[in-house]
Amino acid sequence: AQKVTQAQTEISVVEKEDVTLDCVYETRDTTYYLFWYKQPPSGELVFLIRRNSFDEQNEISGRYSWNFQKSTSSFNFTITASQVVDSAVYFCALSDFQTGANNLFFGTGTRLTVIP
């Protein structure tokens, strides 16, 4: 069965600090996709990144970076030099390769608060 665990329920940081959001997943599939979505106070989930299980390269996009480690089943997300606008709930999600994102399994989310 698919499962995503985000053990950090809430994190608070002071602006400009770096913060890492943890994501651990479980799947019996050998090929799968991992996602991160951001849910700001407005409620609309915003796509951040998609990674397939074949590609273990880390990725950087501006202040965001992602560390995918298949050996530990983790897909962690780091925000560098956090800003107040980063305050949101962040969800990690998993889907199997065959059905793509027809059925995304989401974690329970991590609420990030960036204090000015």
**Binding residue (CB under 8 A) for other proteins from 23, 82, 107, 112:** 107
Q: Please state, as a whole number, how many other Cβ atoms lie within 10 Å of the Cβ of residue 51.
A: 18
Check residue 93 for interaction with other proteins (CB under 8 A): yes
Check residue 44 for interaction with other proteins (CB under 8 A): yes
Check residue 12 for interaction with other proteins (CB under 8 A): no
Q: Contact at 8 Å (CB) between 49 and 35? A: yes
Residues 6+ apart with CB under 8 A from 108: 6, 9
- Give the binding site for other proteins (CB under 8 A): 4, 33, 35, 37, 42-47, 50, 52, 91, 93, 95, 97-109
